[in-house]
Structure 1
């Protein structure tokens, strides 16, 4: 029989108790026995380690300069925050002390490597944050046992991924790989993530995002691709993302959006394309019926063309600010934006807005045109009085009467640059505009006098001309004037006729025979001689007139085409319709030509 067992060193309860210290004090005891003793001591102690704050199974040890994981906490702890410490390693045994742990925050420590079995006992974990460490790789089976994990954050490391890096994470809903300098993603890396909803791969060096990668996660509702090196959005790139609602492509190098690039994004509500290299918009290539927020600020647009935002009926927020090359907005550029409420064109180079840029008018409540090169705004472009918030400052406004009549209500200070007498004057300090600088009454009187003079001149021109007056019309113009709707061509007589008492030939112009058809008279008309006193001329005998009731000889001049228009007007004024008439010229060598009017 051996002698009495040698007593071990007494345990000082005034000193911090750790499992490592107990192993050193009692090397002959098995680790399992020491663990139970340790747990018993924890139960008798305050159950919170120095540097931590504990309550309701939540232990916050943030910024406590810890170099290892605390092991003196309540074993029922569910939340453990170890961020902003100096921890270089964690072990499976240490995590096994907290079987109920659901949330573990190891952000901003000095971890460089994780053993593949480190999380084997932490099967209750739902949130794991490993961001801002120095991890270089992830073992293939690292997360194999974390079937309940819903959120994994590995941002701000230098991790390179393998095809099996996320094996076992069938319940994962949010994954952050931001700021890892990733330039390549294995084709099958996301295949185990059947429940993934939120994917963040921002701030990496990705040159493209193949559609095959995103096909493995069709349930995504949020995708963050900002601050990468994407230069093109290819056709069908997001075809599998039927449930995506939020997409951030800002701060890339995108200069080309292929037609159909947004095909499949029927549920998308927010799209961010700010700080890219877009020169033009895809126009009617926006198949985004539910889009509500669109940010395309800080791009290279020169002009917003017609229908630049077609097929966006539910868009409410549109940011085009800081487009340093944007100088003009074309007609109907914002057509079909029937729901637009917030619009910013701030800090661009705008010099002109088309009067029909907003047709029909959207229900704007916020409109920002500040810091541009605008001198005026088109009248009727928008219902300015209905826009609650207007920002128009830092523009070289010309505060003429047209501009002041818009009745703008800017929320910022609007200072006039011109006219010269208003340079530097705030718009709100200007009174009612005096049209034409006080010259309105003289101008109106001058216009009235001119109008009266025109009326008098017209009346004078319509007075009957004397027999010595020069005719105002030649034969062609007069014939056209006397043509009325009720007249039609009479083709009953031949174009050429011959007088019985002379060898003179006469041509009857078809354009002058615009008369209604009617049967010829039963007897020749009564013939008299012509009179020159301005009254109705007398009838004359003529072989040309046998098919007409009356014939009149109109006095003519030897000057070609000049006739007594007064007599001709009298004929058609006194003879009631329906008139049956024609004009016949008789060319007589050496004598005045004859103009015969047949009625």
Structure 2
């Protein structure tokens, strides 16, 4: 049974959805009962007539019993002794009488997760008598101790989300078939795990020990491990030899501990030759640890106190593709100009929420996604992006960039750039020299009041333009500005000082956001140039109920959303309602 396949880049989903962010579910396995393989040449025995427990579902021959979520308060007593797969999850069972379970001598799968089982309700040798048991699920119960003895046929054991404080030597020891163990969200301390907890269980590939109270990495971990979760513990130190025998480990999760650079050395990770995913985020590191393996693909270092990236600490990681260094204390002069030299596969770099006062030198030459938002960058120089010609997504939002400090040739090499975000800066005008191949441009939350002539020239691929919360007036746009944008689908001009609908909007426009402006009226020809528009948002302007010209929205066959609600229209409606009520009262009298 192959549980640990090579790490695919679907793991990158963790980068964007972890939200830096919150703890995800530790594991994901199927609780569906396996189907037995049929041999068409083998004669089938006659089916027995079995008595299926009330509200349960049973296969005809009684080998598969599903009593999940039927509000059982006691372990069922009338199960057929030929049962192979038994599901009892999501009930209220508190104990298991030995005589009712041990007679199920053929049992291979037993799912008891999400019940009310306590250690008192499970005798020490209860499961050991099930000599064919492969899969045991006891997660989400009230166990304080792990079962002392388990059958040596076990393949997977899940004891997550209990109150377990102790595991015994024979709980997981001497299990040659054991492949996965889930112990996260318990109360295990270092004293609760014996030194030889996996003695003669050398084939374990997945071990989940996160969300416990461990201060040290357990000793003598199974050599076949390929996935090890130790996050959300109290680890302060990792001895040099802790991982030296885990030469097949592919994923190592150490986030949200108390690790410092003094608690590791250059030998801690060197033997992990197959490691592809390493998460050291949310610790107390002040610099990147040395001796990281060359096969790492995704490296999480966010939420530390890292102040520097030295010349050679990353350059040996030749397979590095994703580098997450956000939420640290990096300044531009703390990143060596050659820190990313030779990293030909590195395409995603997160440096946001640091202390960068300028774009750091020596950026990876093949970077495609660069996140520099929420720093203190005040200018964009001519050569800041001169070597990053493969950039597709650049985010410079919420820095201190001033229009006059953006060099007109700063973006000249970025011919593949699709998304540029410079929101939340101190721009007073749209910068010159914007890349012509942009598809998304975000300039919201600035102080922009002018569009210099030809700043939008050649942007025939631009689909989305965000200019909300600036100081734009109708006079801010040069004549023909919108005609340049022949692919524009979304235009956000909300939160500005527009007095009417901008004329000559592009024919391709589908969504127009104009809320929170000073628009008084909507002319009858306001949307004649936008026959494909689907959504118009005019909420909170200065319009009254009679300020909409007749026919203003005629001919817009694709229009789906029209939002013209405002404080004044509400007042007008209240006035109209009041007048209508008065008329009705007069008629009644």
Is 1:277–2:352 an aligned residue pair?
no
Name the structure with the higher helix share.
1
Note closer, same or farther for the CA distance 1:100–1:421 as it changes in structure 2 (3 Å cut).
closer
Contact 1:229/1:252 (8 A) holds in 2: yes
Is 1:341–2:421 an aligned residue pair?
no
Give the Cα separation in 2 of the matches to 1:401 and 1:136: 61
Contact 1:273/1:296 (8 A) holds in 2: yes
Contact 2:108/2:133 (8 A) holds in 1: no
Higher mean displacement: 154-163 or 414-423: 414-423
Post-superposition Cα deviations, 1:372-429, rounded to whole Å, max 9, x if no partner, equal 1111223322334531111111111031174463116543344542689996129997
Match of 1:331 among 395, 408, 420: 408
Q: In structure 1, what is the equivalent of residue 66 of structure 2? A: none
Note closer, same or farther for the CA distance 1:369–1:421 as it changes in structure 2 (3 Å cut).
closer
Q: In structure 2, what is the equivalent of residue 43 of structure 1? A: 105
Match of 1:425 among 494, 512, 519: 519
Q: In structure 2, what is the equivalent of residue 373 of structure 1? A: 447
Shift of 1:228: 0.9
Is 1:363–2:437 an aligned residue pair?
yes
Match of 1:303 among 379, 384, 398: 379
Shift of 1:339: 0.7
Q: In structure 1, what is the equivalent of residue 508 of structure 2? A: none
Give the SS at the match of 1:304: coil
Give the SS at the match of 1:400: helix
TM-score for the superposition, normalised by structure 2: 0.60
Note closer, same or farther for the CA distance 1:426–1:96 as it changes in structure 2 (3 Å cut).
farther
Note closer, same or farther for the CA distance 1:325–1:317 as it changes in structure 2 (3 Å cut).
closer
Q: In structure 2, what is the equivalent of residue 178 of structure 1? A: 255
Give the Cα separation in 1 of the matches to 2:269 and 2:414: 37
Give the SS at the match of 2:200: coil
TM-score for the superposition, normalised by structure 1: 0.59
Give the Cα separation in 1 of the matches to 2:415 and 2:382: 15
Shift of 1:246: 0.8
Give the SS at the match of 2:413: coil
Give the Cα separation in 2 of the matches to 1:186 and 1:232: 17
Shift of 1:354: 3.3
Post-superposition Cα deviations, 1:305-326, rounded to whole Å, max 9, x if no partner, equal 2232121121111111222555
Give the SS at the match of 1:264: coil
Is 1:79–2:169 an aligned residue pair?
no
Is 1:261–2:339 an aligned residue pair?
yes
Give the Cα separation in 2 of the matches to 1:51 and 1:74: 18
Contact 1:102/1:124 (8 A) holds in 2: yes
Contact 2:418/2:438 (8 A) holds in 1: yes
Shift of 1:281: 1.1
Give the SS at the match of 2:420: strand
Shift of 1:336: 0.5
Q: In structure 1, what is the equivalent of residue 394 of structure 2? A: 318
Structure 2: state its 5+ residue gaps: 1-74, 79-98, 116-126, 503-516, 528-589
Q: In structure 1, what is the equivalent of residue 238 of structure 2? A: 161
Shift of 1:239: 1.7
User: What does 1:155-554 correspond to in 2, within 5 Å?
Assistant: 155-159=231-235, 160-184=237-261, 185-210=264-289, 212-214=290-292, 217-255=293-331, 256=333, 257-283=335-361, 285-286=362-363, 288-324=364-400, 328-355=405-432, 357-358=433-434, 361-382=435-456, 383-400=458-475, 402-403=477-478, 405-407=480-482, 409=488, 410-414=490-494, 416-417=496-497, 424-425=518-519, 431=526
Flag the structure with larger Rg: 1
Shift of 1:92: 2.6
Give the SS at the match of 1:93: helix
Higher mean displacement: 418-427 or 406-415: 418-427
Cα root mean square deviation, aligned:
3.5
Give the Cα separation in 2 of the matches to 1:264 and 1:427: 59
Give the Cα separation in 2 of the matches to 1:333 and 1:71: 66
Give the Cα separation in 1 of the matches to 2:325 and 2:216: 27
Give the Cα separation in 2 of the matches to 1:431 and 1:39: 77
Give the Cα separation in 2 of the matches to 1:71 and 1:52: 20
Contact 1:52/1:60 (8 A) holds in 2: no
Note closer, same or farther for the CA distance 1:338–1:420 as it changes in structure 2 (3 Å cut).
closer
Contact 1:301/1:326 (8 A) holds in 2: no
Give the SS at the match of 1:110: coil
Shift of 1:40: 6.8
Give the SS at the match of 1:213: coil
Give the Cα separation in 1 of the matches to 2:166 and 2:402: 54
Contact 1:307/1:335 (8 A) holds in 2: no
Note closer, same or farther for the CA distance 1:134–1:401 as it changes in structure 2 (3 Å cut).
closer
Give the SS at the match of 1:367: strand
For these two proteins, the number of residue pairs brought into alignment is 390
Contact 2:466/2:492 (8 A) holds in 1: yes
